[in-house]
A and B are shown apart, each in its own frame.
Chain A
Amino acid sequence: MSAAIAQRPEREPGYNFAYLDEGTKRMIRRAILKAIAVPGYQVPFASREMPMPYGWGTGGVQVTAAILGRSDVLKVIDQGADDTTNAVSIRRFFARTSGVATTTRTAEATIIQTRHRIPETPLSEGQVLVYQVPIPEPLRFLEPRETETRQLHALAEYGAMHVKLYEDISRHGHIATTYAYPVEVAGRYVMDPSPTPKFDNPKMDDCPALQLFGAGRERRIYAVPPYTRVRSLDFEDHPFRVQEFTQPCALCGASGHYLDEVVTDDSGGRMFICSDTDICETRVAEAAR
C-alpha cells in the first residue's frame, strides 16, 4: 500500500450512485438523522440485502452509501489496516459503484468506514467515521429478549451492564473485557461501541468527527454526534483502563499506538506492529527521508 489518493475512478454503468437506490438512501438518512438527534439510541431501519455476506460490514456499507457524495474521499480500514480483504473489497465496491476518490490517508479522508478500530491520527471536524457493527445491543449478554432490552433502555435501567463487569472482576481480578467495552453516551444511553479494542474508547469521547454505527443483520443504526461525552462504564475501585504495550512498534518505533502481535515463524518468533497501517507507513516513510 503506498498510493495515497487514487485517481478518481470511472463509475461502472448500470448502478445507481453508490449502489443503493435513492429511496433506500433517503430511508437510511432518516434513520441516521434520528440517531444523531438521540445519541446512543439504536434506531431500527429497513436493512437491505447487500452483495456481500452478513458479518462483512453490510450495515456500515449501507450507512456509507447513504451519506456518500461525489466530492467525498473514502478510506476503508479493517482492524486498522487498509490492505486486508474486507477493506480492499469495500473500497473497490464504492470506487466501482460511485466513482468517488479513495485514499488510505486518514487526514485526507472525509468518510472512513471502519471495522473495529479508530485511526491513531486524531480525527477532525467534517470527517465521518462509519463503524461496522455485528451486535448492537450491549445488554444482550444478560437479556436475550429484545422487548425487555428496549424497556431497559427506555427506563435507563443499566444495573445489568455492571453485572457483566462485576463478573469480570470476580473471575479475573480486573475488568477483563478488552473489546466491545460498553460506554454511556451523553449521560443517557449505554451503547456497544462495536468490537473496537477498549484502547480506542477514549478517542470516542468529545471527538470532533461524527461517528455513525450500522448493524446490517440486526437492522440498527446509532450515532455519536461530534463533541459528545462518551464515558466507559467502570467501578469506583476498578476504574476504566486501556491496554498498555511494553514495547514500541517493531516497524516504526511508535509507542502509544495499538499494536498487533504478528507471528513470524514456526519457532515462536513474533513481533508487535501498529494495527493502523496508515500511520505506521507514514512514520516509516518519514524516517527514511
Chain B
Amino acid sequence: MSAPLLSAHGLTKAYGSRLACAGIDLDVTEGEVLAIVGESGSGKSTLLSLLAGELAPDSGEVRYRMREGRTRALADLGAAELRRLMRTDWGFVRQDARQGLRMAVSAGGNVGERLMGMGERHYGRIRGQALDWLGRVEIEAGRVDDPPSQFSGGMRQRLQIARNLVTGPRLVLMDEPTSGLDVSVQARLLDLIRRLSAELGLAVIIVTHDLAVARLLSHRIAVMRAGRVIETGLTDRVLDDPEHAYTQLLVSSVLAA
C-alpha cells in the first residue's frame, strides 16, 4: 500500500477546558472516501477544520503528501503555501453553501474564481471550463450567469462541488454536504459525489451524522464520540458488525426505511 495522502497524528484541540478533539490519528490514501460520523458536538467539524489547516491544533500534526511527492507537515507551510494548497490541490464543500460560494457572483464566476486565482487570464477558456463543470454537476448551461442566490439548496451544493473540483484537486473535505436537503435531492447529490470521486480518483473526507450517507459513499468509517475516535474500520464492517458499545447504539438508533 502506498504512503497515505494525508495523515494526522495525535491531533488535540481544546476550547478552554473542554476537549473538542483528543489525540486523533487518521490516514487517508489516494482515491479513498473516509466518513467521520458521530453525533452533534462530538468534535467532527473541529477535526475537519484541523485537517484543513484552518485551526491550529494544541498538539499533534497533520502531514500531507504534496503533488511533487514530498510529505510535509501543514504547520511547516507558510500562509501563502497553505492557501495555494487549499485552492489548487484541495477542495472544501461546506454545509452552508453561503460560506463556500460567493452569493452575489454568477455561477460561472464562482467556478472560474479558482482558475483566475491560479493565473488564468483568458476569458474564453475560463468560461469554457465553467460551462464544462456546470454540465458535470448537472446544472443547465443556461444558468451560468445566474447568481447562486437564485439557486435551490441542492443546486448550490452541486455548484460548490464544481467550484472546488475545477482545479483538479486530489483531496476534498466535505462538511455535512447533504444536510438540510430533501431526500430525493440528497440522493441525487450523493450519486453525483460518488460518481465524481470514483471518476477522478479523489480522496474524500466527509463529515456526516447520517449513517446512510456514510454507507453509500465511504470506504472506511471513523466513529467519533466526545472528541475521540472510538472505532474505525471498513464501512460495511463497522455498520453491520459494530464493536464498540456506542457504535452499536448509534447503528441501532437509525430508523429502517
Q: Which residues of A contact B108 (CB under 8 A)?
A: 166, 170
Q: Which residues of B contact A235 (CB under 8 A)?
A: 121-123
* Contact B145 A171, beta carbon cutoff 8 Å: yes
Number of inter-chain CB pairs below 8 Å: 54
* Contact A167 B117, beta carbon cutoff 8 Å: no
Contact pattern, B 67-98, Cβ under 8 Å of A = 1, otherwise 0: 00000000000011001000100000000000
A163 in contact (CB, < 8 A): yes
Q: Which residues of B contact A268 (CB under 8 A)?
A: none
Binds B, one of A56-64, A154-162, A250-258: A154-162
* Contact B145 A142, beta carbon cutoff 8 Å: no
CA distance A16 to B127 in the complex (A): 58
A130 to chain B, nearest CB (A): 32
CA distance A263 to B18 in the complex (A): 69
Q: Which residues of B contact A171 (CB under 8 A)?
A: 106, 145
A20 in contact (CB, < 8 A): no
Q: Which residues of B contact A157 (CB under 8 A)?
A: 83, 117
Interface footprint category on A: 10 to 19
CA distance A65 to B105 in the complex (A): 41
* Contact B123 A166, beta carbon cutoff 8 Å: yes
A71 in contact (CB, < 8 A): no
Q: Which residues of B contact A236 (CB under 8 A)?
A: 121-123
- Provided the pairs A142-B105, A170-B108, A171-B145 are in contact, do residues A159 and B123 lie with their beta carbons within 8 angstroms? no
The listed residue with most B CB atoms (<10 A of its CB), out of A162, A234, A237, is: A162
Q: Which residues of B contact A162 (CB under 8 A)?
A: 116, 121
A106 to chain B, nearest CB (A): 35
The listed residue with most B CB atoms (<10 A of its CB), out of A151, A157, A159, A237, is: A159
Q: Which residues of A contact B122 (CB under 8 A)?
A: 235-237
- CB contact between A170 and one of B106, B116, B118 (< 8 Å): that residue: B106
* Contact B116 A163, beta carbon cutoff 8 Å: yes
CA distance A238 to B116 in the complex (A): 14
* Contact B121 A163, beta carbon cutoff 8 Å: no
Q: Which residues of A contact B102 (CB under 8 A)?
A: 142, 163
B220 in contact (CB, < 8 A): no
Q: Which residues of B contact A163 (CB under 8 A)?
A: 102, 105, 109, 112-113, 116
* Contact B144 A170, beta carbon cutoff 8 Å: yes
CA distance A95 to B12 in the complex (A): 66
A67 in contact (CB, < 8 A): no
B44 in contact (CB, < 8 A): no
Q: Which residues of A contact B106 (CB under 8 A)?
A: 167, 170-171
- Provided the pairs A235-B123, A236-B121, A237-B122 are in contact, do residues A160 and B113 lie with their beta carbons within 8 angstroms? yes
The A contact surface, by secondary structure, is helix
Closest residue to B125 on the A side, CB-wise? A237
B108 to chain A, nearest CB (A): 6
- CB contact between B126 and one of A142, A151, A166, A234 (< 8 Å): that residue: A166
- Provided the pairs A155-B79, A159-B117 are in contact, do residues A167 and B123 lie with their beta carbons within 8 angstroms? no
B16 in contact (CB, < 8 A): no
* Contact B105 A151, beta carbon cutoff 8 Å: no
Q: Which residues of A contact B114 (CB under 8 A)?
A: 159
A169 in contact (CB, < 8 A): yes
B124 in contact (CB, < 8 A): yes
A232 to chain B, nearest CB (A): 13
B76 to chain A, nearest CB (A): 17
CA distance A169 to B112 in the complex (A): 13
A63 to chain B, nearest CB (A): 32
- CB contact between B79 and one of A151, A169, A237 (< 8 Å): that residue: A151
Q: Which residues of A contact B112 (CB under 8 A)?
A: 163, 166
Q: Which residues of B contact A170 (CB under 8 A)?
A: 106, 108-109, 127, 144-145
CA distance A236 to B116 in the complex (A): 12
Q: Which residues of A contact B117 (CB under 8 A)?
A: 157, 159-160
CA distance A159 to B118 in the complex (A): 7
CA distance A126 to B116 in the complex (A): 39
Q: List 10 A-B pairs, Cβ < 8 Å.
A: A160-B113, A162-B121, A163-B102, A163-B116, A167-B106, A169-B123, A170-B108, A170-B109, A171-B106, A237-B124
Sample of 7 further A-B pairs with CB below 8 A, known A166-B116, A235-B121: A142-B102, A142-B105, A159-B116, A162-B116, A163-B102, A166-B126, A171-B106
